[in-house]
Amino acid sequence: QVQLVQSGAEVKKPGSSVKVSCKASGGTFSRYSISWVRQAPGQGLEWMGTIIPICGVANYAQKFQGRITIIADESTSTAYMELSSLRSEDTAVYYCSRDPGNGCNYGYYFDYWGQGTLVTVSS
Amino acid sequence: QSALTQPASVSGSPGQSITISCTGTSSDVGTYNLVSWYQQYPGKVPKLMIYEVSKRPSGVSNRFSGSKSGNTASLTISGLQAEDEADYYCCSYAGSSRYVFGTGTKVTVL
C-alpha cells in the first residue's frame, strides 16, 4: 500500500520561499511520478508540476514557471516542491500525489495522495 | 491553460442518476482519452474515482461511470446516495507533459 506523508503546515512572509516534502512508502519510488496539486481556500484543484524520478525530469505548469522547483531524492523516497516569491494568493493546501506511470511515461492520473500541507502567506 | 468547465452544482434525489459534465478543448479532452475524476469531501483528500475516461479503480462503486464525447467528458452517478454528496473534479492530460483540472462541481443529495 502506497503512502505519501507530507511535511507540516507553514506560515511564510510575502516574497519568501517555501519547501514542502512528500515521503513515499510502499511501491518503488523511482518507478512512478510525483505530482503537486494545490487548492486555495474554497477553490478548486490546480496542477502545479510533475517529476519523474527515474528520468530526472520535472515538468511545470506555465503559471508557475520560474517560481517552482520539484526535485526527488530516491535515496529517501522523498519528493520536494519549492515555491518562491510567495504572495498572498499562494495561500493554499498543497498536495503531492502519485502518478502510476512506468519508466519515463506518465500514468495520466493520480491514485494516491498525501494528506496535504497548508501554506499560509501573510505579512 | 484554462481550467476545464464544470457546472458549479448538480443535485438529485436518492436513487436518481445525475451526470456531471467536463468541457475542455481539442487540445485536452478532445484529443486524449486520459480524463480522470476525483471525489473530495470538505477538508479531505481527493479520491480517484475514474481514470482513462471510463475505468474504475478497485474499490470504487460501479454506480460511478465515465464517458466522453468530443471535447466533453461526463461522470454519471447512478442510484444516488447520501454519501455521494461531495465535490467532484475532472482532470485531463493536456499534452506537453501538462495536466488541467476542472472547475469542480458540488453534488447535493436532496
Dump pLDDT digits (tens) for A41-66: 999 999 999 999 888 889 999 999 99
Grid coordinates belonging to B70? 468530443
DSSP string, B51-107: BTTTB--TTS-TTEEEEEETTEEEEEE-S--GGG-EEEEEEEE-STT-EEEB--EEE
Confidence at residue A56, expressed as pLDDT on a 0 to 100 scale: 82
Phi, psi angles (nearest 5°) of residue B27: -90, -15
Chain A environment of B104 (Cβ under 8 Å): 44-45
Q: Which of B36, B47, B103 sits opposite A44 (nearest CB)?
A: B103
Digitized pLDDT (tens) for each residue of chain B, 110 residues in all: 799 999 999 999 999 999 999 999 999 999 999 999 999 999 999 999 999 999 999 999 999 999 999 999 999 999 999 999 999 999 999 998 999 999 999 999 99
State yes or no: pLDDT of A30 exceeds 80.
Answer: no
- Alpha-carbon span B3 to B23, nearest angstrom: 9
Stretch among A61-75, A95-109, B30-44 having the lowest mean pLDDT: A95-109
**A103: confidence class by pLDDT, cuts 50, 70, 90:** confident
- Alpha-carbon span A51 to A62, nearest angstrom: 15
- Residue A30, burial from CB neighbour count under 10 angstroms (0-12, 13-18, 19+): middle
Confidence at residue B67, expressed as pLDDT on a 0 to 100 scale: 98
Q: Which percentage of chain A shows pLDDT scores above 90?
A: 81
- Alpha-carbon span B4 to B36, nearest angstrom: 12
State yes or no: pLDDT of A67 exceeds 90.
Answer: yes
Stretch among A34-38, A100-104, B70-74 having the lowest mean pLDDT: A100-104
- Residue of chain B whose Cα is closest to the Cα of A60: B98
Mean pLDDT of chain A: 94
Which one of B6, B28, B45, B51 would you mutate to disrupt binding with A, by most A Cβ within 10 Å of its Cβ?
A: B45
Residues 6+ apart with CB under 8 A from B11: B18, B107, B108, B109, B110
Confidence at residue B86, expressed as pLDDT on a 0 to 100 scale: 98
